[in-house]
Amino acid sequence: MIAALNGHTVGGGLEIAMAADLRVARKGAGKIGLPEVTLGVLPGTGGTQRLARLVNKSTALELMVTGETFDFERGKDLGIVNQIWETASADEFFEKVQKYAEQFCPPHKAAKAVGRIKRSVQSGAEIPFESALAVERELQQQLFQSDDAKEGLAAYVEKRKPNFSGR
């Protein structure tokens, strides 16, 4: 899931964006932050937990207790934003986001592998390291049985670009 940030992304908007796998922002289009403290509440839709996992705990705490909002560049420096793109218009930005997203789908990438990578990272981050390695091995074994793994390995050996089918 990719969140496209094209405007102010504060409070609940940032909480939703942090629930995405990747966050792409349009340069100069807005600010981000969790200013809920200025309303006397906390970022209660997962904000306290997701921000602390994206940045270190101390930085997350500081950002939330100050209620600071900041530009996308600082968000990228902190690891909240993955990419910042300069585009002439919102339409151009969303077209670029669409093309970016398409690279993760067949025929460009093996959809099962993308899904298993996501599952391994998300699940593994929540369990002990040894257990996470076991999850990774299990998912890898599943992938080795897929048509896309066969295609990817054959393409590598044959020195050609793979054509993934999603199977």
pLDDT, tens digit, for every residue of 105-132?
999 899 999 999 999 998 998 899 999 9
Q: How do residues 55-101 score in pLDDT, each as one tens digit?
A: 999 999 999 999 999 999 999 999 999 999 999 999 999 999 999 99
Q: What is the DSSP letter of 6?
A: -
Active site residue 36: yes
Q: How do residues 54-67 score in pLDDT, each as one tens digit?
A: 999 999 999 999 99
Count of structural domains, the chain: 2
Q: How do residues 19-40 score in pLDDT, each as one tens digit?
A: 999 999 999 999 999 999 999 9
Q: Name the catalytic one among 36, 73, 86, 151.
A: 36
* pLDDT score recorded for residue 125: 87
How high does pLDDT run on average in the chain? 95
Range of the domain at 78: 2-102
**Residue 76's CATH number:** 3.90.226.20
* pLDDT score recorded for residue 108: 87
Q: How far lies 86's CA from each of 12, 93, 125, in Å?
A: 25, 8, 32
Residue with tokens 């151009």: 92
- Dist. CA 66–CA 84, nearest whole Å: 24
Quick one: 60 and 128 in the same domain? Answer: no
Quick one: 66 and 116 in the same domain? Answer: no
Quick one: 28 and 91 in the same domain? Answer: yes
CA-CA-CA-CA torsion for 23, 29, 35, 36, nearest 10 degrees? Answer: -70
* pLDDT score recorded for residue 6: 96
Active site residue 15: yes
pTM for the model stands at 0.83
**Residue 118's CATH number:** 1.10.12
Q: What is the mean pLDDT of residues 143-151?
A: 94
